[in-house]
Amino acid sequence: MDATLSKEHEDFRRVVREFAESRIAPHVAAWDKQHHFPTDVVAEMGDLGLFGITAPQEHGGSDGDFTSLCIAIEELGRVDQSIGITLQAGVGLGINPLVAFGTAEQQERWIPDLVAGRALAGFGLTEPGAGSDAGATRTRAVLDGDEWVVDGAKQFITNSGSEITSLVTVTARTGERPDGRPEISAIMVPAGTPGFVAEPPYDKLGWHISDTHALSLSDVRVPADHLLGEQGRGYAQFLATLDDGRIAISALATGCLQACLDLCVQYAGERTTFGVPIGAKQGVAFQIADLKVMLDGARALTYRAAALKDAGAPSGEVKQAASVAKLYATESAVTGTRVATQVFGGYGFMEEYPVARFYRDAKILEIGEGTSEVQRILIARGLGLPVE
């Protein structure tokens, strides 16, 4: 699959890069320190059309391709990973499930505000006892007349408790399948519904600008028509959503690597020891050369997977490519931020230098949207190995 980007893609990249460098870069250090979530910038991202890249035109979107979304995430992530994940989750976990599985009425009600950046949506899958084992979901939903009554808890949910969060779609047990396994459905819960509580924001290692909360649901009642997709298909729907999300996370990791390479090249050309720039020393130059190799590999795998999705390749092929890209790009980002911190030496350990922020932000890339271990399982299964 030829993953070469078109002129239109590169033109779009320049637009997003200019926005990120002018509207985000000057502020991210302060936002990170203050754990500030900039809803005004979210609105500007909506005005620029970033939340509507893959959404239908009839709801304010541009019907663009998935590759364009990855470009936007990469360029935002190159400046700040938290802003990049805000877009990735807002589209991949908020808008795209509505586009793929929502009714016309649901789409008309929710998508326009999400596309415009006036609102955000989250997706609640992970629970205290159900992360990689999402089938162990304990949250329950019971149909009571024309309402679903939802009880349970979710954790680590992005875009779930901001002042502009409009809804969170949660997975819940709605019955039992013939084989005895739980029937899991997806139900949309509007923010502000009685019994739905976004707990105080997490004190996280990284992604300080991202809005992330645990959720509690106690006797939460929503109309029956808030079921997203088919009853009993919620888990399968979310697995399909995760395939796309893994490609998008790969783009975020690629942005992280690009930032580290840019910062290291500049620093190694300016910082001198023993009368010469440190970039003249093989010990440093070779580390930066390795960063370039990791970046090119991550970018190639990411946009190959995105091209397969855009071309309508078989789902199994896209799934495999997504896992390969996610595994390589995210592990490379973790390694790359460590290398960048080492190149900066003692300064790399100081929060005033961006490499420190990228170092903190990178680790979660190996965990969210399926851990590295899960990706290795999926890759092995794709090869036909009988791995459990």
Classified by CATH at the fold level, domain 235-382 comes out as: Butyryl-CoA Dehydrogenase, subunit A; domain 3 (1.20.140)
Classified by CATH at the fold level, domain 7-119 comes out as: Butyryl-Coa Dehydrogenase, subunit A; domain 1 (1.10.540)
- Could you give the CA distance from residue 373 to residue 379 in angstroms, rounded to a whole number? 10
Please enumerate in sequence order all residues whose Cβ is within 8 A of that of 210, keeping only pairs 6 or more positions apart, or say none: 37, 82, 85, 86, 158, 204
User: Using one digit for the tens of pLDDT, what is the confidence trace for 106-119?
Assistant: 999 999 999 999 99
Which residue type occupies 213? H
Each domain of the chain, given as residue ranges in start order, spans 7-119, 122-231, 235-382
In the chain, the percentage of residues whose pLDDT exceeds 70 is 99
DSSP, residue by residue, 73-126: HHHHHHH-HHHHHHHHHIIIIIIHHHHHH--HHHHHHHHHHHHHTS-EEEEE--
Contact in structure between 189 and 148 (CB atoms under 8 Å): no
Contact in structure between 81 and 20 (CB atoms under 8 Å): no
User: Using one digit for the tens of pLDDT, what is the confidence trace for 235-294?
Assistant: 889 888 888 999 999 999 999 999 999 999 999 999 999 999 999 999 999 999 999 999
> Where is average pLDDT lowest: 1-10, 93-102, 220-229?
1-10
**Alpha-carbon torsion, ordered 4, 321, 207, 163, to 10 deg:** 90
Which residue type occupies 197? V
- Could you give the CA distance from residue 16 to residue 319 in angstroms, rounded to a whole number? 27
pLDDT band at 336 (very low <50, low <70, confident <90, very high): very high
Q: Quick one: pLDDT at residue 388?
A: 82
Q: Quick one: pLDDT at residue 66?
A: 98
Q: Is 172 helix (H, G, I), strand (E, B) or coil?
A: strand
User: Using one digit for the tens of pLDDT, what is the confidence trace for 170-217?
Assistant: 999 999 998 888 999 999 999 999 999 999 999 999 999 999 999 999
pLDDT at 1 over 60: no
List residues with catalytic annotation: 369
- Could you give the CA distance from residue 258 to residue 264 in angstroms, rounded to a whole number? 10
* Residue 273 buriedness (CB in 10 A; 0-12 / 13-18 / 19+): exposed
Q: Quick one: pLDDT at residue 240?
A: 87
pTM over 0.85: yes
Q: What is the CATH number of domain 122-231?
A: 2.40.110.10
